Amino acid sequence: MKIRVLGCHGSDHLIKDEGRGHECRSCAFLINETVLVDAGTVGGVLTLAEQRRLRHVLVSHLHFDHIKGLPTLADSLFDHDGRPLVIVSLAQVLKGLQSHVFNGEVYPDFMQLPNPDHPVFRLEAVEPGATVSCGDLRVTAIPVNHQVPTVGFIIDDGRSAIVCSGDTYATDELWKAAGCLRSIKAAFIEASFPNAMAEIARVSGHLTPSLFHREFEKIGRPEVKAYAYHLKPRYRDTLKRELSALPIPALTVLEEGQEITI
């Protein structure tokens, strides 16, 4: 399984560090060139040809930083004569996309355009805990603990599996399911706020580095590689220090542009 990090922060932000700039981008992971996990960053990184190779988009929840690449992606695919791009998520999330984004006012309804028989997007609702096929991948959507209906994903290619938390506070079902898989190799877990902001993290439904550690331990597989993402850019340096101090041997704080093979 090949994973390309298009964006891995909790918002978009240009950080200037010692005269150099680091562009923090909203979350999106490209898997095997055809499956996108969240769509916070798409057209700003992928070429038109790369966008047209996409076959599925897994949307964890409706918050804007996880869907904001979809409208411009629709523009890129509008005149493409390939198959519709399938957006996979909870029914509540898909309904929100139709009601609040692709509603003919904020943005055109690309579930009907350019024509109902050949739209840009096709929606596929997944039941909580259910598994669907996305090309060669098997994807299981498991509810997590956030402000709005949200799922984390377990993604399995038949040889290896990864778990991606989505936005979440402390949760259990996702880690239990991941820990039961012998093929689990990596855990992508959010860490949005520093430890000193634990109350804000709780209220907003996010993790701190201390909570990151507790959540990772719930998997019960210390050999699994841990990847931290969704860092809020303004707290990035503090978060990196606190995460690096955790007793997790195989912990990596993700950066834009990384390519990971599982």
Q: What is the pLDDT of residues 152-161, one digit of tens each?
A: 999 999 999 9
The predicted structure's pLDDT at residue 80: 75
Please state, in angstroms and rounded to a whole number, the distance separating the CA atoms of residues 197 and 184. 31
Predicted confidence (pLDDT) per residue in 169-179, tens digit: 999 999 999 99
- Characterise 158 by phi-psi region: left (phi > 0), alpha (psi -120 to 50), beta (else): left
Counting residues of the chain whose pLDDT is more than 90, the rounded percentage is: 92
- pLDDT > 70? residue 17: no
φ/ψ region of 128 (left if φ > 0, alpha if ψ in -120 to 50, else beta) reads: beta
Q: How confident is the model at residue 22 (pLDDT cuts 50, 70, 90)?
A: confident
Rounded to a whole number, what is the distance in angstroms from the first to the last CA of the chain? 5
Mean pLDDT of 106-126: 95
Q: What stretch of H or E contains 251?
A: strand 251-253
Tokens 């960053």: give the residue. 41
Looking at residues 190-213, what average pLDDT do you find? Answer: 98
> At CA 81, angle to CA 80 and CA 83, rounded to 5?
100
- With bands split at pLDDT 50, 70 and 90, how would you rate the model's confidence at 15? confident
